[in-house]
Amino acid sequence: MSKSTKYIFVTGGVASSLGKGIISASLAKLLQARGYSVTIQKLDPYLNIDPGTLNPYEHGECYVTEDGAETDLDLGHYERFLNTPTSQANNVTTGRIYQSVITKERKGEYLGKTVQVIPHITNEIKDHIQILGNTGEYDFVITEIGGTVGDIESLPFIEAIRQLKWENHEEVLFIHLTLIPYLAASEELKTKPTQHSVKTLLEYGVQPDILVCRTEHHLNKEIRTKIARFCNVELEAVIESIDAETIYDVPLLMQEERLDEVVLKHLKMPLNSTADLKKWKEFLYHHKNPVQEVEIGLVGKYVELKDSYKSIAEAFIHAGAANQCKVKLKWISSEDLTVENVEKELRGLQGVLVAPGFGTRGIEGKIEAVKYARENKIPFLGICLGMQCAVIEYARNVLGMEGAHTVEIKPSTPYPVIDIMQEQKSVTDMGGTMRLGAYPCELKEGSNVYKAYGKKEISERHRHRYEFNNSYLEDFEKAGMKATGVNPENNLVEVVEVENHPWFVGVQFHPEYKSTVVNPHPLFLAFVKATIQ
């Protein structure tokens, strides 16, 4: 373990979905605002190697990092809060741990030993936790353990962090996030579930240093004292986490509760710095006090589960605040969108976004939405599959290419305007084999995207197998759909725009992954601006 890096582990108890990711990100923000370098890691107890092969219904959005890792959506929160990139090392699943242990076993690296959960799996977990610390870049590595304490599947993770604490007493801190339920009938907050959850942790040899208590009502001194006494923590280490209006309030609430101070004290670090949250507060002010409102339709196939489009929704929050504008999203199910009802569904919207996606379901609805936005001159942003739909729509309805399609959905189409990428043709495995991560793109001067970014060379993250078919490029450009962003190395079309339209942009990449609180994404900024006009 590198001497200077401190490790903070965040576990969860009583119930899932208490917001470990947001608490981790908020603490990281506070430490960062005091001048420390911080990164956050998520350990997920499931057996998939990564969430790339998971349906969004299972696990929400798959977030993609600069280095092309397909990760848990919490990494999106980490980047949005900290404004620093994460990487493959920031998200580790049980599947990945086992994969690497089994690979070593097959290579004979365990020298004839029986390979076991303890020590081999736990050692592998400990190594993965320390990869980030060993870079020497960070004062703090905050590691969030997915799942709820007591789950069978997270046991090896808990055992690994117990060992780390035992080996490096001074460098390790445990935070346990728990729930204090309110019984309306008796008008009481109950601490028993928390006591039990801490007891379970103690059975595994882990004594939490700090308890962050999710609650709907303020915790008074009496309740705090009771929790402290029964859970064996100091009174000041009982931190209230009351339900917040937005996730972006949480760092400020944690600051009020002095979470960062308690952490620093425990780790025997100086308290002389103060957290500078000026920019954060400015953002929050504009987010909560917009001077105008626009409504944008988000057309996708997973709209019942808003976590599927988490980064897009957050990017609108960032871009909205910067434009002093509330962006109201109308979630529109592409599957239910038809020629007959598209007008009724989209009329009156100031903008339309067609979302990324895979597969057949809802594709024709997405194409109808593009057509409506194009013909009615409504500002439009198409992302990945959304861009591909814009190309298909233009081919069919402007270029007269009847039956034009993407070969992903209709391999026999007479006009394969979206085709499989050369490098994807031989791919048979599904996991981690798409075109992933950051690639360069060169923008055409004078285009809307160029105006948005204010520069020619950009780099954006990708997650796709199909691409614009360049053999049709000339036809498209003649007819008014221009390629205004192109990969300079291989000529892949990255951006298309339609002429004689106020703002019609389709991008093969995913701008939403790079939007953060202090750095709203230029394309979302420009799109929101266009919807205001």
In the complex, which residues of this chain contact ligand GLN (CB under 6 A)?
Answer: 356-358, 384-385, 408, 463-466
User: Residue 141 to residues 28, 129, 242: CA-CA distances in angstroms?
Assistant: 9, 8, 25
Contacts of 34 (CB under 8 A, 6+ apart): 260, 273, 274, 275, 276
Q: To 10 degrees, what angle do helices 155-167 and 122-134 make? A: 60
Nearer to ligand GLN, 68 or 357 (CB): 357
Nearer to ligand GLN, 466 or 524 (CB): 466
Nearer to ligand GLN, 63 or 450 (CB): 63
Backbone angles phi, psi at 93, to 5 degrees: -105, 165
Within 13 Å, how many C-alpha atoms sit on residue 479's CB side? Answer: 16
Compute CA 504 distance to the chain's CA centroid, rounded to the nearest angstrom: 26
Nearer to ligand GLN, 265 or 465 (CB): 465
The answer to whether 513 and 426 have CB atoms below 8 angstroms apart is no
Q: Which residue has the tokens 């001048």?
A: 35
Residues in the chain: 533
Q: Min. distance of Cβ 385 from ligand GLN in angstroms?
A: 4
Q: Min. distance of Cβ 14 from ligand GLN in angstroms?
A: 36
Nearer to ligand GLN, 61 or 368 (CB): 61
Amino acid at 360: T
Paired residues of 507 in beta bridges? 383, 495
Nearer to ligand GLN, 189 or 391 (CB): 391
Q: Min. distance of Cβ 517 from ligand GLN in angstroms?
A: 24
DSSP line for 331-355: EEEGGG--TTTHHHHHTT-SEEEEP
Vertex 430: Cα angle to 103 and 61 (nearest 5)? 105
Q: Min. distance of Cβ 440 from ligand GLN in angstroms?
A: 19
Q: Min. distance of Cβ 420 from ligand GLN in angstroms?
A: 8
Vertex 490: Cα angle to 487 and 493 (nearest 5)? 45
Q: Min. distance of Cβ 434 from ligand GLN in angstroms?
A: 6
- Closest alpha carbon to 247 in 34, 18, 7: 18
- Closest alpha carbon to 212 in 185, 194, 232: 194
Q: Min. distance of Cβ 60 from ligand GLN in angstroms?
A: 15
The answer to whether 78 and 22 have CB atoms below 8 angstroms apart is no
Q: Min. distance of Cβ 62 from ligand GLN in angstroms?
A: 9
Residues annotated as catalytic (active site), given as ranges: 384, 510, 512
Helix (H) or strand (E) holding 10: strand 6-12
Nearer to ligand GLN, 11 or 406 (CB): 406
Nearer to ligand GLN, 384 or 496 (CB): 384
Strand order through the sheet with 466-468: 405-406, 416-420, 466-468
Q: Which residue has the tokens 């240093």?
A: 209
Q: Give the Cα separation of 21 and 86 in Å (integer).
A: 14
Q: Which residue has the tokens 């579930």?
A: 193
